[in-house]
Each structure stands twice: as structure tokens, then as C-alpha cells.
Amino acid sequence: MNAISNAVPDLEPTQGWYDKHFSWNNVDPQDTKPVCFSSYRPDNPDTPGTPPKVVGPWENEIDCLEMDGKGSRIWRFAHTYSTAKNGFWSTPRGNVSQDGRFFLFTSDWEDQLGKAPNGRQYRHDVFLVELR
């Protein structure tokens, strides 16, 4: 029988909803490599340069979670700075490299990258974080 348990025990529930995208391209047969993820809140402000809304842990961040079953360590690497208001790729949808050294994600960076060619939305771009 398989039992389900929280990877992070005693985690307080967050206020409201936020989205996470997990990547485990660096997985090994023993599941000892961390799983990495990006997160954002759909209710982030969309005024250029306004910081994202954060009401709980690991929101609007790039993080990795220990998966070896011995602990529940979380490494916090970067902020996503996404408003999540400028189309699918303005949300931070990231992937960890197969060697586990880098995390690549998309973001509209608080609407500070200029307007998209259609003039209605702000641009988004790809960002790279070294995981060390």
C-alpha cells in the first residue's frame, strides 16, 4: 500500500490561490535529486514596477525541494517578478536542466520589459537562474 504524506510537514495553508509549475528533469533512479518549481499568484498587481503580492511562503519564487525522504529542506533561489497578466508565457513556467545546475523560466518582469508588438500587452522573456 502506498501512503501519501506532505513533503513539507506542518505547512500552514496559504491565503488565496497561487499556481506552481514543477520540473524534475534532473531526477535519478533513487529520487534523491530535488524537484524545482516556479510559482506565481494570478492576483499580482499589473501596474509596471509594482512588486508581486506575497501572503505565504514560496510565492512568486524559484525554489527546489529536497526529495530524498530524509528531510524537507527548501532552497529559495530567485523571485519570478511575474504579473501573470500578459498571456500564457508571462507566467513563470520553468524547467530545471538535466544536470540540475540551472532553472530556465518565463516572466513579464513586473511589466518592465516594454510593450509587445500588438501594443496591448507587455512583453515577456526567458530568464536563467544558476542553482547553487
Q: Is the pLDDT of residue 16 over 80?
A: no
Q: Does residue 88 fall inside a structural domain?
A: yes
Q: Does residue 64 fall inside a structural domain?
A: yes
Range 42-72 burial, b when 16+ CB lie within 10 A, else e:
eebeeeeeeebbeeeebbbbbbbbbbeeeee
Q: Does residue 44 fall inside a structural domain?
A: yes
Q: Does residue 14 fall inside a structural domain?
A: no
Q: Does residue 10 fall inside a structural domain?
A: no
Q: Does residue 9 fall inside a structural domain?
A: no
Total of domains in the chain: 1
Q: Does residue 12 fall inside a structural domain?
A: no
Q: Is the pLDDT of residue 3 over 80?
A: no
| Sign of the Cα pseudo-torsion (18, 79, 125, 25, in order) | negative
Specify whether the CB–CB gap between 65 and 90 falls below 8 A: no
Specify whether the CB–CB gap between 72 and 111 falls below 8 A: no
Which tens digits make up the pLDDT trace of 32-78?
899 999 999 889 998 898 999 888 888 899 999 988 777 778 999 99
How sure is the predictor about 126, in pLDDT bands with cuts at 50, 70 and 90? very high
* Phi, psi angle pair for 8, to nearest 5°: -120, 100
pLDDT reported for residue 122: 93
Q: Does residue 52 fall inside a structural domain?
A: yes
Domain with 78, as residue range(s), is: 19-130
Which tens digits make up the pLDDT trace of 81-91?
999 999 999 99
Specify whether the CB–CB gap between 120 and 111 falls below 8 A: no
